[in-house]
A and B are shown apart, each in its own frame.
Chain A
């Protein structure tokens, strides 16, 4: 039962353009969402998060949008840089009855110089 889904396994974007990574979830009890970035042979690094009471959170080049009615969130990276090339994971968290972060399968972003 994949509660958090990232349907695009890979994405290529030109340097300087916008990267949009998408994530869908099924559990309406999720109340906190996060994006992580992962380089090979390293642990995931936290990027940005959003509470379910908000619809947008921005941090520098990174913006996360949450559409609760569609159970969808997206990460926008503007402008994209070659150093952004990595695997991006969406994660969701609920404080109702469980304590774990549930991750999607990831999207590999390649930013072309």
Chain B
């Protein structure tokens, strides 16, 4: 399967713990996006990479959130000191260039208890 892959699919964590999610984009897609989606809302932009460079970050991305794409291939999103308000579906997407569709992974469902 050559789609966008996200791991894990589900994560339950206690408040205050750190979590890390991984995204493997479609190979040769140089653009990678992280979004967050909560119930009844559309996907909200978190951050964007072009190759290994993080070019844009949302105000939603507090200092507890950090994302990396060290070699321009896979990416990780880490949330430190999780809060209940972090519970959401975290979506990764990749695209080959501007004015093209982004392809989404299956998402990681985070539940903070």
Interface string of A90-113 (1 = CB under 8 A from B): 010101001111111110000000
Which residues from 44 to 102 on chain B have a C-beta closer than 8 Å to any C-beta of chain A? Answer: 44-45, 48, 50, 55-56, 58, 91, 93, 98-99, 101-102
Contacts of B106 in A (CB 8 A): 41-43
Flag whether A32 is at the interface (Cβ < 8 A). yes
The count of chain A contact residues (Cβ–Cβ below 8 Å) is 28
- Please measure, in the bound complex, the distance between the C-alpha atom of A104 and the C-alpha atom of B43, giving whole angstroms: 8
Q: Say yes or no: A43-B33 contact (C-beta < 8 A), given A95-B98, A99-B56, A103-B42.
A: no
A98 near B56 (CB under 8 angstroms)?
yes
- Please measure, in the bound complex, the distance between the C-alpha atom of A46 and the C-alpha atom of B109, giving whole angstroms: 20
> Shortest Cβ distance from A76 into chain B, in angstroms?
19
- Please measure, in the bound complex, the distance between the C-alpha atom of A89 and the C-alpha atom of B41, giving whole angstroms: 10
Flag whether A44 is at the interface (Cβ < 8 A). yes
Closest 4 CB pairs of A and B: A103-B42, A43-B104, A100-B45, A46-B101
A selection of 8 A-B contacts at a CB cut-off of 8 Å is: A43-B106, A44-B104, A89-B42, A95-B98, A99-B31, A99-B48, A99-B55, A99-B98
